[in-house]
Amino acid sequence: MEIVVFTNGCFDIVHPGHIDLLNRAKALGTRLIVGINSDESARNIKGNGRPFFKHDERASVLLGLKAVDEVHIFHELTPENLIRQINPDILVKGGDWSTTEIIGSDFVLTNGGQVISLPLLEGNSSSRIVAKIRNIESHQVPTAEGNFANSFSQHIEVFEEMLISSVDAVAQCAAIILETFRNGRKVLLCGNGGSAADAQHIAAEFVGRYETERKALPAIALTTDTSALTALANDYDFERIFSRQVDALAQEGDCLIAISTSGNSPNVIAAVMAARKRGCRIVGMTGAAGKKLAGLSDACLMVPSDRTARIQEAHIATAHVWCEMVDAEMAQGIKASEA
């Protein structure tokens, strides 16, 4: 009896960790199918300058491995549609993904299959390899006396890079938010730590007056204030706070804006998975290393920086652009109704 195993990834730089994962995945069944992100999809997850190899080239490399039987290229950020088409018996991801975070797990389990998170071979990481090759040095943090010029220079560098690499991502996110408002659905926001402040800021500007007077938005942006977080944390474990709010407030057709500078916040990821189950669209906001959040989103802004301060500044500035687009949309609607 044939047992189909499925896994996915970008597989831009195939290293020993990948080989080990694919060999162990194949050992779970009789046929291993690998889904790989298209070039555009990989770029949205990995950031500007990636992938190094085109998807046809990456597929050719994987097909040259003994463990791999088929390779399918998918163009969305997630392989959910591909998983539904293949309907594998076993769904596998690396150990940096828990089984609750794996896209397609609900579908596979519902159809009697298995979902497995395999431990990764230690010491192997594409990101580490790229960093080593590029000999990237970490940013110098300003001294206690302050270095206004240095901080401002970093700020400008990030925004200049975004003008080159992030315009399409900003537009894709905006399209989802505008469609949500047009359909009269809700936009929910969540973020931990400093990102909680970003979520509050963005929510306030969506529902309030930005640069022009708004008669009313067709939907309300919802977020979590600090008092609600404190109260919920007393009764539930921290990682379930946002997901419980999604369970209580979200409906099919709503949009969740998930904010995490690292892209790995368990609380935010749990909220994303809960929102996906309810049929919500996901807009991610993260930094250069936030591939997990990017891989779970329908559209994602990955700020090209590893500095929390630079990432959060860019998130707020991007939200201002989205507010301008909402204002323009509403102004156009008002003119049309008055014509």
Of residues 89 and 141, the one with the higher pLDDT is 89
pLDDT per position as a tens digit, 148-183: 777 788 888 899 889 888 899 999 999 999 999 889
pLDDT-based confidence at residue 206 (cuts at 50, 70, 90): confident
CATH class of 4-128: alpha beta
Three-class secondary structure of residue 245 per DSSP: helix
pLDDT per position as a tens digit, 230-250: 555 555 566 777 888 888 889
pLDDT-based confidence at residue 301 (cuts at 50, 70, 90): very high
pLDDT at residue 138, as a whole number: 45
Could you check whether 4-128 and 159-338 share the same CATH topology? yes
Of residues 315 and 334, the one with the higher pLDDT is 315
Alpha helices in the chain (DSSP H): 16-26, 39-46, 55-63, 80-86, 105-110, 126-134, 148-165, 167-182, 193-207, 226-235, 241-249, 266-277, 291-296, 308-338
- Answer whether the bond into residue 51 is a cis peptide, omega within 30°: yes
pLDDT at 227 over 60: no
pLDDT-based confidence at residue 123 (cuts at 50, 70, 90): low
Chosen CATH of 159-338 out of 1.10.760.10, 3.40.50.10490, 3.30.565.10, 3.30.70.260: 3.40.50.10490
Separation of alpha carbons 139 and 5, rounded Å: 42
pLDDT at 15 over 70: yes
pLDDT at 17 over 60: yes
How much is the mean pLDDT over the chain? 84
Per domain, the residue ranges of the chain are 4-128, 159-338
pLDDT at residue 335, as a whole number: 57
pLDDT at residue 209, as a whole number: 60
pLDDT per position as a tens digit, 177-205: 999 988 989 899 988 778 888 888 888 88
Of 84, 152, 139, 156, nearest to 113 (Cα)? Answer: 84
